[in-house]
Chain A
Amino acid sequence: MNNTTLHSAGTEGQLAWYAAVAYEDLAFNTGKTIRCDATEVALFKLSSGTIRAIQNRCPHKDGVLAEGIVAGEHVFCPMHDRKIDLMSGLVQAPDTGCVTTYPVRIEDGQIYIGLPAAKEMAS
């Protein structure tokens, strides 16, 4: 669309892989909002260089997770400070809940996100 050029990649099993951004273009510990129709994904590059992708809304009160403070393997929701594990999507104790996590892979410096393909098959 208008912001960044993108193209959809092929489907694989239940997932459809989409090119999101170039690995180099992602700032460390700063969430990036990725929109795909009604789905919003928060994409992170951790201090370790690892890429993580999770659903962009906190299960507690819909806080925007891409804007949270990233610490190690966790993000803190900017709304009410829920601490969420970026690997498992689990909200950390004493709070409860979890967010959807999405698989990512990097090819030729490009980050791809795997989103459920059901929608595409239906259309």
Chain B
Amino acid sequence: MGESREKLVLIGNGMAGMNTIEHIIKLAPHKYDITVFGSEPHPNYNRILLSYVLAGDSKVEDIVIHPMEWYEANGIHLYSNETVTSVDTAGQNVTTDSGLTVAYDKLIVATGSNPFMLPLPGADKEGVMAYRTIRDCEIMIEASQQYKKAVVIGGGLLGLEAARGFLNLGMQVDVVHIVDTIMERQLDRTASKMLQEALEAQGMNFLLEKQTESIIGDERVQGLKFKDGTVAEADLIVMAVGIRPNVALARESGLEVANGIVVDDYLQTSVPNVYAVGECAQHRGAVYGLVAPLYEQGAVLAKRLAGAETVPYEGSVVYTKLKVSGVDVFSGGQFMDAEDTKAIRVHDEFSGIYKKVVVKDNKIVGAVLFGDTADGTRLMQMIRNGDDISGLEKTAILRDNSGSGNGGGSGVAEMADDAIICGCNGVSKGTICSAIKDQGLTSVEEVKNCTTASRSCGGCKPLVSELLSYTLGDAYEKTSGKETICGCTDHSREEILAAMKEKGLSHVKEVMSVLAWKNEGGCSKCRPALNYYLAMLNPTTYADDPTSRFVNERMHANIQKDGTYSVIPRIYGGVTSPAELKRIAEVAEKFEVPTVKFTGGQRIDLLGVKKEHLTQMWEDLDMPSGYAYGKALRTVKTCVGDTYCRFGTADAMGMGIQLEKRFERLNTPAKVKMAVSGCPRNCAESGIKDLGVVAIDGGWELYAGGNGGVKVRAGDLMMVVKTESEVIEYTEAYLQYYRETGIYGERTSEWVKRLGIDTIKEVISDPEQRAGLCARMNETLSVTKDPWKEAVNNATIRKDLYEVVEIKS
């Protein structure tokens, strides 16, 4: 059977080529024997998401589109780390740098583009680089560990994303740009200036209207000199001034090349049986450097090669979104004002929102959005469809009308089946609609999980929602726009809590069956949430469901990446004793604990413990669990306070120990960390804790919603109280209010932001409400038990959770 297949060779293991191959396999699975050559040592990955890798939000593995196994499973011969050096179009074969020659019946050239490197004097110095590949990303991350100052040349999309990455890596960064507005090819002046301000607030420094003359330094770069005579220091320079189609191989092989490889409306080059797709191709004079066009090209080429009927490719209307967290920018189509265009503008300087829609002959031809980009995908559809807007009220064009129930409002109905909805992951309307129909999907979340649409930047969520509405009709309207707790249900958190109360539900299973859960047994998102909510509502009567707890909370230890556990006993307020330390040391020796480490919360972590040793270890330790694994009170960090410190004004250690003893074992929507400082010097870092206590002369300040983690947030001053018992009382009220109104998984930093510190102040300052909250907290705390002791004393728990059965072969 293999012999009868035609031989298809792809040069370039990038997004354009592999997207085409993926389509071909779907359309004609047995037609071709496929060989792929890629110069990079990786399988196919999503280059657009590199900025997330650099920003630390994703790992390299996360952006791989097709893992090596996928190639194998589909019978594709992949030669990674291997570069095609010549094409013999007469003999129909290609030859690589390792001397391998492979014959083809059909050849796809998808060599993409190369970053353009400015030919500046000194550009060959060490530390001057491009930003294009996983390897570049890795070099930048490595450099950040050694060097402090980066300069990015180029204030376009790529340059700004690279600069943001450097900020995340803890480096200082200057962005050098030749004109006085950044991203000038995508933004008008107003949006550009707003963007600049937003990025400056994030710590980016701009050197505008600067032209680099030379790069200075010895072997390694030390800085750069501009034409105006000024200089900037730099340990690392990234050139992000543009890309050039990679056409060298095509040119040498005799294909017609202008800026890119010239192709017709079916992506065929000037030579028979040779096609080009993606950034290296030039179609009707245009070369595209964005993802959506290459998917559109790939869909046409795949059909052609699969022998399916296809409409010709007639060019793309492009749009861009800047992938920098905290800044929403969208630009599409012909967005600059011209003599024959008019514009609708909304500019809200208070909220930092700017929207401009450019209209020509009653049709929308372009748009720029800043601050709120929700309209972006809808406007793009109106541009692509050439909708006549003369009948529409002008201001209504910018208002999102997806809530009006008019599914056809954005034109999803008229879109072709292969129109790309999700640009990041290349998911088409047809794929989404058939997944909705065939797999019975009813929410954006489910579509995301099944098709990956909206999984990356999330910009296409409104369109996915409209496709659901269009495909399901009224059945979708009922559930749309509601924040459900996971894909297993159409109910929101509030509805579920109300049903638990009204119907007196008392088991996780009961909730799922009464509220008609769509997936039998729920999932890893909803089950722990339901278990928490039920316990929060019925603290004394609810029987915890360990099978609905995440491993760490079920096992009462932190699972590590190798499957061993870490054990952290409670050390109240970070204050211990020689006897306790000796016991910990003896246990560590007895169980041959490979790593003993102090945690950031002033206690001791015993790492690398086997699961079958856990309970014996706890018995020997004879200390309470530190709950270092739970959505619960973790630690109360303290400074020494007035017991020893010459600046101390109060007993910080004593206060911390009291707080930790009061709230240990308390389950909360997310982990809770506290700290007590004995004076405003704040040595216990009370400003970045879920509850921070700071002693002042004659009283205590309570700070709420601080966070030192992913999103650093300084706590808000919530209350100033006089006595230690008031500290406990107000903390009880605060934590109970958080327990009752927090969404499962929501840290206090997000919760305080959502509710507003003033609302929280009002509630806990009200004597009646405070008394109620404290009473419910007291009830909750009255029934907690130490889980380590429980396991040590209960043979069933030991057997069910900690036993490992050995079979002898």
Contacts and interface: CB of A to CB of B under 8 A. Distances in A.
Contact of A69 (B547, B559, B801, B809): B547
Interface string B689-710: 0000000000000000000000
A74 to B, nearest CB: 7
B809 A16 contact: yes
A43 B455 CA distance: 32
A110 interface: no
Given A1-B808, A93-B450, A94-B451, A62 B522 contact: no
B75 interface: no
Interface string A59-101: 0011110011111111010110101000000000110110000
A20 B806 CA distance: 8
A21 B522 contact: no
B450 A94 contact: yes
A8 B806 CA distance: 11
Interface stretch (B49-57, B125-133, B389-397, B548-556): B548-556
B804 interface: yes
Contact of A32 (B521, B527, B803): B803
B69 interface: yes
Interface in A27-45: 27-30, 32-37
A71 B527 contact: yes
Nearest to B70: A96
A68 B70 CA distance: 25
A103 B809 CA distance: 17
Given A93-B450, A96-B70, A69 B806 contact: no
A29 B804 CA distance: 16
B758 interface: no
Interface string A12-23: 000010111100
B806 A4 contact: yes
A71 B559 contact: no
Interface of A: 1-4, 6-8, 16, 18-21, 25, 27-30, 32-37, 47, 61-64, 67-74, 76, 78-79, 81, 83, 93-94, 96-97, 113, 115, 119-120
Interface in B512-530: 519-524, 527-528
A64 B805 contact: no
17 contacts: A1-B808, A4-B806, A19-B807, A21-B805, A35-B804, A36-B809, A47-B509, A47-B520, A64-B551, A64-B559, A69-B523, A70-B547, A71-B520, A71-B524, A73-B521, A96-B69, A119-B809
B806 A1 contact: yes
A79 B559 CA distance: 9
A35 B806 contact: yes
Contact of A71 (B522, B803, B804): B522
Contacts of B611: 33
Interface in B522-581: 522-524, 527-528, 546-551, 554-555, 559, 561-563
A78 B67 contact: no
Contact of B551 (A4, A7, A16, A78): A78
A27 B801 CA distance: 9
Nearest to A117: B809
B612 interface: yes
Given A4-B805, A96-B70, 15 more contacts: A3-B806, A6-B808, A18-B809, A25-B799, A32-B803, A33-B803, A33-B805, A34-B804, A35-B806, A36-B807, A36-B809, A64-B559, A70-B521, A72-B520, A96-B69
Contacts of A93: 449-451
Contact of A6 (B448, B548, B801, B807): B807
Contacts of B805: 3-4, 6, 20-21, 32-35
B452 interface: yes
Nearest to A26: B800
B450 A71 contact: no
Contacts of A64: 551, 559, 563
Nearest to A6: B807
A14 B194 CA distance: 69
B551 A30 contact: no
A29 B519 CA distance: 16
Contact of B523 (A83, A96, A113): A83
Contacts of B554: 67
Interface in B433-450: 448-450
Contacts of B804: 3, 33-35
A72 B519 contact: yes
A28 B551 contact: no
Contacts of B509: 47
B452 A94 contact: yes
Q: 4 closest pairs, A vs B, by CB?
A: A72-B521, A71-B521, A76-B524, A1-B806
Contact of A8 (B69, B546, B808): B808
A20 to B, nearest CB: 6
A3 B615 CA distance: 14
B551 A68 contact: yes
Interface string B116-140: 0000000000000000000000000
Nearest to A123: B809
Interface string B447-468: 0111110010000000000000
Contacts of B527: 69, 71
Contacts of A67: 551, 554-555, 559
A55 B450 CA distance: 24
A25 B795 CA distance: 12
Given A18-B809, A79-B561, A4 B803 contact: yes
A18 B549 CA distance: 30
A78 B550 contact: yes
Contacts of B549: 69
A67 B614 CA distance: 15
A97 B69 contact: yes
Nearest to A76: B524
A97 B562 CA distance: 20
A69 B548 contact: yes
B455 A69 contact: no
B523 A71 contact: yes
Nearest to A32: B805
Contacts of B523: 69, 71, 74, 76, 83
Contact of B809 (A37, A79, A96): A37
A81 B554 CA distance: 16
B809 A120 contact: yes
A18 B524 contact: no
A4 B559 CA distance: 24
Contacts of B563: 62-64
A73 B520 CA distance: 8
B639 to A, nearest CB: 36
Contacts of A19: 807
Contacts of A32: 803, 805
B452 A8 contact: no
A20 B612 CA distance: 17
Nearest to B509: A47
A115 B551 CA distance: 27
Contacts of A61: 561
Contacts of A37: 809
A72 B612 CA distance: 27
A114 B551 CA distance: 27
B559 A8 contact: no
Contact of B612 (A3, A21, A25, A97): A3
Contacts of B448: 94
A70 B805 CA distance: 20
Contacts of A96: 67, 69-70
Contacts of B522: 71-72
Given A21-B805, A78-B559, A30 B520 contact: no
Interface in B405-452: 448-452
A96 B73 CA distance: 11
